[in-house]
Amino acid sequence: MEGDPVMECIQSQLVAGAPELQQTNIDNIEAETDEVIVSTQEQAILHQRLLYAPEDDERVSSEQVPVLMDDEFSSDSDSDIEPDLPPGLDGAAFQSRLPANKLTRQEIDFFPDIASGSQSAIMEFLRIRNKLLQAWLHDPLNELTADKAQSIANIPHSVSGKSNLVLRIHGYLSRYGFINFGVFKQQNPLEGKMPFKVLVIGGGISGLMTARQLQYFGLDVSILEARDRIGGRVNTFRKGAYSADLGAMVVTGLGGNPLSVIRKQVGLQMSKIRRRCPLYYTTGEMVPRERDRTVELEFNRLLDTVSYLSHHLQVDQLNGHSLSLGEALELLIELQEKHSREKLKEHLTIMSSLQLELKGIYTQIKEIQMKLKEGQERQRQLLEAHGNNPNDIDFIKRSTEQDLYQLFQQYDTLHEQRQDIENRLDEAEDTDIPAVYLSPRDRQILDWHFANLEFANASPLNVLSLRHWDQDDDFEFTGAHLCLRDGYDALPKSLSKGLDIRLKTAVTAINYSADGTEVIATSTESGCTNTFKADAVVVTVPLGVLKAGAITFQPPLPEWKQQAINDLGFGLLNKVILCFEQRFWDANVHLFGHVASSTTSRGELFMFWHLSFTPVLIALLAGEDAVKYESLPDDVVTAKAMAVLRSIFGDNSVPEPKETFVTRWRGDEYARGSYSYIASGSSGNDYDFLAASVSPTRAGSTVPRPRLFFAGEHTIRNYPATVHGALLSGLREAGKVADFLLGASYTPRPLSSSAEVAQPPVTLSELI
């Protein structure tokens, strides 16, 4: 790599401080305050920033562990779990993920007459919109009707222009799921159904939300689900009194989260997850708190630096090769190690030079001491030989003392130089210049943080896009991270009520044209094949299923759609469920970490979660280890997890588990993985491509007719890899399907002429 201009650029930035990484040495970082260290990258790391250990270093014994309290996981009050929001109408817009004081791109598109009008017209639109949002959030158990919207907006029916605007805004907000979504009471349910059939492929969160909303709009909708259950990657293990979430398990804040509304509608019981996470070495020794915090600070600085390099310096390639996030991080570590060695070499060179200089001064001092001794002896001899004559004595003294005086001056000068060099040597010896940037244990702790990042992205760092991996950071929700007391499957169970769901129905082919769609499905029970016809199909299967080509599309999907399917990453996270008769871990800790002994095994059972009333631990397998462990038998995986626990708590404190379960999401044919990530060579644009509908045209016609729609966490650029993202994508697609089939009275825009065509869509964020 020597002489490479990119390397020289990176090295120069490290030296210049981009941002001040070169000034940091693991053993020289001053202890910070007790506040949590935060970086811009922190928001991209889902389910975490839970990384601080207690002060003591001792192994936890079973005698130290408090008994499980009944209220340990009791539901927190609304004031405890609801985040602080801006007051009034601003807060309503914030909770709805909309800007309070400006139009979104979607609103500009649907309300061109308002967008091109006066500022007062825009402000009136925003006032009405925000008041309706506020009213819905205040009472999400009941439908916000058009009549009620008129009353809330405080505009008389006689004022036809403004009255019509209220109806348009209400229609838009309802159509795209800003109001009237979830599980609520319809004030005037439609009698019968519209003469349109919609099929939703997949009964996960996005599919359930799509179907529920379409049913509210009056469409005839059915869900085809291959499994014998609903929920998809939301699945809760239950056996006897034990329960644990096998897939999604954390609500990452309620500030802006549509789950905040559904929680109130169906009474989802949520509790805050405690943020403290003590770490343990493989020896069972607890990682000192300050050591973990120091390494985490360096972890965040490394992330800040790779962000600076990729976004500000546009450095994302090396020798023509696209750098992944993992490669960039390892490159920085290598450069820091080199920098540390160079600093040590420079330090030792300076000390060696000073020692040589001091040796030379000692030699000169010794020579002067000899000359002084010889001069004094010569003076004595002369005085003895000629000491009887006063004139001779005076001459002898004057002739010898001049030489002695010069020697004494030289001696004093050398003595001062010696003292200066000795002081500089003492100072150099007191300066701690470590031989390495990271000690072996520091590297182990850093690897734990890397594993945590791999957990957040369901991907090894060496395949993540350096520039785009955290592109959704700005859209993270606010508030505490929460768990569902009764298991996450309470959500799909609530959303599924009243829906037509065909379980054990695996879709194998979708034929589509401008005139309609035909879906071929096979019963996983009988093996019989059925054909379903519909006006539109919403495909909500996981990205892994699309990548595997499990569903055949005829005609084949457009090249831009298939390319996005190929390019976007679909990662893996696995879990080991361990159910015990009683708890042996600290009741005040909801999670603790295991620091692996090597980089290659850093994701191996690196974190344990306890989020249940019952004594259940959930061990995580991330990165390469998530893949590796899928091929191991359950008993081997369980034994490894037990070995880790016994290394931490002691052999005698950890009993054999009563029940166990090991997930294998990659091997699940209806998932093929856990959730999406932005791979090297991909970008956030691929989420937009995956979200775009496919709109064939009739022969001889130029008018596109969207027939294939797509939802799921892999189709929502701002909220990927999350349950709320899947839910929001379902609301989005329900709106698009209804616009196509039912029309959109809320907008003067001719939808038929501006519908998405089978070509790459404009890659903009959905709303803002």
Per-residue pLDDT of 174-191, as tens digits, reads: 999 999 999 999 998 877
205 belongs to an annotated ligand binding site? yes
603: DSSP letter: T
207 belongs to an annotated ligand binding site? yes
| Segment 60-87 mean pLDDT | 55
Residue that has been written with the tokens 């399907």 in this structure: 737
Per-residue pLDDT of 300-348, as tens digits, reads: 999 999 999 898 888 888 787 889 999 999 999 988 878 777 776 676 7
702 belongs to an annotated ligand binding site? no
346 belongs to an annotated ligand binding site? no
CA dist., res. 682 & res. 325, Å (int): 13
Contact 169, 747 (CB under 8 A): no
Burial of 303 from C-beta contacts in 10 A (0-12 / 13-18 / 19+): buried
Reading the block at residue 532, the tokens are: 């379903």
The two beta strands, 236-239 and 516-523, are unpaired
103 belongs to an annotated ligand binding site? no
- pLDDT above 70: residue 681: yes
Contact 567, 681 (CB under 8 A): yes
**Per-residue three-class SS string for 224-288:** ECCCCCCECCCCEEEECCEEEECCCCCEECCECCCHHHHHHHHCCCEEECCCCCCEECCCCCECC
C-alpha torsion angle, residues 495, 501, 505, 507 (rounded to 10):
-70
Confidence bin at 70 (pLDDT 50/70/90): very low
63 belongs to an annotated ligand binding site? no
- pLDDT above 60: residue 46: no
CA dist., res. 37 & res. 376, Å (int): 70
213 belongs to an annotated ligand binding site? yes
516 belongs to an annotated ligand binding site? no
Q: How many CB atoms lie within 10 A of CB 290?
A: 14
- pLDDT above 70: residue 6: no
> How confident is the model at residue 388, as a pLDDT?
64
551 belongs to an annotated ligand binding site? no
> How confident is the model at residue 28, as a pLDDT?
39
544 belongs to an annotated ligand binding site? no
> How confident is the model at residue 35, as a pLDDT?
32
> How confident is the model at residue 344, as a pLDDT?
63
Domain positions in the chain are 5-39+53-71+274-324+441-477+573-662, 349-430, 509-570+673-754
Confidence bin at 434 (pLDDT 50/70/90): low
> How confident is the model at residue 193, as a pLDDT?
76
735 belongs to an annotated ligand binding site? no
- pLDDT above 70: residue 10: no
> How confident is the model at residue 402, as a pLDDT?
74
Residue that has been written with the tokens 């009243």 in this structure: 498
217 belongs to an annotated ligand binding site? yes
CA dist., res. 558 & res. 555, Å (int): 9
Report helix, strand or coil for 585. Answer: coil
Buried b (16+ CB within 10 A) or exposed e, 710-730: bbbbbbbbbbbbbbbbbbbbb
| Segment 71-84 mean pLDDT | 64
233 belongs to an annotated ligand binding site? yes
> How confident is the model at residue 416, as a pLDDT?
86
Task: Reply yes or no on domain 509-570+673-754 having CATH 3.40.640.10.
Answer: no
Confidence bin at 561 (pLDDT 50/70/90): very high
CA dist., res. 434 & res. 619, Å (int): 36
The percent of residues in the chain predicted with pLDDT above 90, rounded, is 65
Report helix, strand or coil for 18. Answer: coil
Q: Is the preceding peptide bond at 19 cis, omega within 30 degrees of 0?
A: yes
711 belongs to an annotated ligand binding site? no
125 belongs to an annotated ligand binding site? no
- pLDDT above 90: residue 17: no
Report helix, strand or coil for 610. Answer: coil
433 belongs to an annotated ligand binding site? no
202 belongs to an annotated ligand binding site? yes
- pLDDT above 90: residue 557: yes
200 belongs to an annotated ligand binding site? yes
> How confident is the model at residue 329, as a pLDDT?
95
Q: Is the preceding peptide bond at 460 cis, omega within 30 degrees of 0?
A: no
Residue 343, H or E segment: helix 325-386
Better pLDDT: 767 or 421 = 421
CA dist., res. 611 & res. 249, Å (int): 9
| Segment 707-716 mean pLDDT | 98
Better pLDDT: 233 or 160 = 233
The chain-wide mean pLDDT, for the chain, equals 85
Burial of 240 from C-beta contacts in 10 A (0-12 / 13-18 / 19+): exposed
250 belongs to an annotated ligand binding site? yes
Q: Range with the lowest mean pLDDT among 395-409, 622-636, 676-690?
A: 395-409
223 belongs to an annotated ligand binding site? yes
723 belongs to an annotated ligand binding site? yes
- pLDDT above 80: residue 108: yes
Report helix, strand or coil for 633. Answer: coil
632 belongs to an annotated ligand binding site? no
> How confident is the model at residue 175, as a pLDDT?
98
Angle at 505 between CA 503 and CA 510, to 5 degrees: 135
| Segment 445-464 mean pLDDT | 97
The percent of residues in the chain predicted with pLDDT above 70, rounded, is 83
Burial of 562 from C-beta contacts in 10 A (0-12 / 13-18 / 19+): middle
In the sheet that 659-662 helps form, which strands lie side by side, from edge to edge? 279-280, 591-594, 607-609, 616-621, 574-579, 659-662
123 belongs to an annotated ligand binding site? no
644 belongs to an annotated ligand binding site? no
- pLDDT above 80: residue 758: no
> How confident is the model at residue 359, as a pLDDT?
86
> How confident is the model at residue 9, as a pLDDT?
54
Report helix, strand or coil for 555. Answer: coil
Better pLDDT: 7 or 230 = 230
Q: Range with the lowest mean pLDDT among 49-58, 180-189, 328-337, 688-697?
A: 49-58
Confidence bin at 699 (pLDDT 50/70/90): confident
Per-residue pLDDT of 465-511, as tens digits, reads: 999 999 998 999 999 999 999 999 999 999 999 999 999 999 999 99
Contact 696, 758 (CB under 8 A): yes
351 belongs to an annotated ligand binding site? no
219 belongs to an annotated ligand binding site? yes
| Segment 63-86 mean pLDDT | 56
- pTM (predicted TM-score): 0.83
> How confident is the model at residue 30, as a pLDDT?
36
CA dist., res. 159 & res. 149, Å (int): 14
Span 5-39+53-71+274-324+441-477+573-662: which CATH code?
3.90.660.10
Contact 177, 699 (CB under 8 A): no
> How confident is the model at residue 18, as a pLDDT?
41
378 belongs to an annotated ligand binding site? no
Helix-helix angle 205-216:723-742, to 10 degrees:
30
461 belongs to an annotated ligand binding site? no
226 belongs to an annotated ligand binding site? yes
Supply the DSSP string of 171-206, one letter for each residue: HHHHHTTSSS-SS-B-SSPPSS--S-EEEEE--BHH
376 belongs to an annotated ligand binding site? no
| 685: Cα within 13 Å, side-chain hemisphere | 12
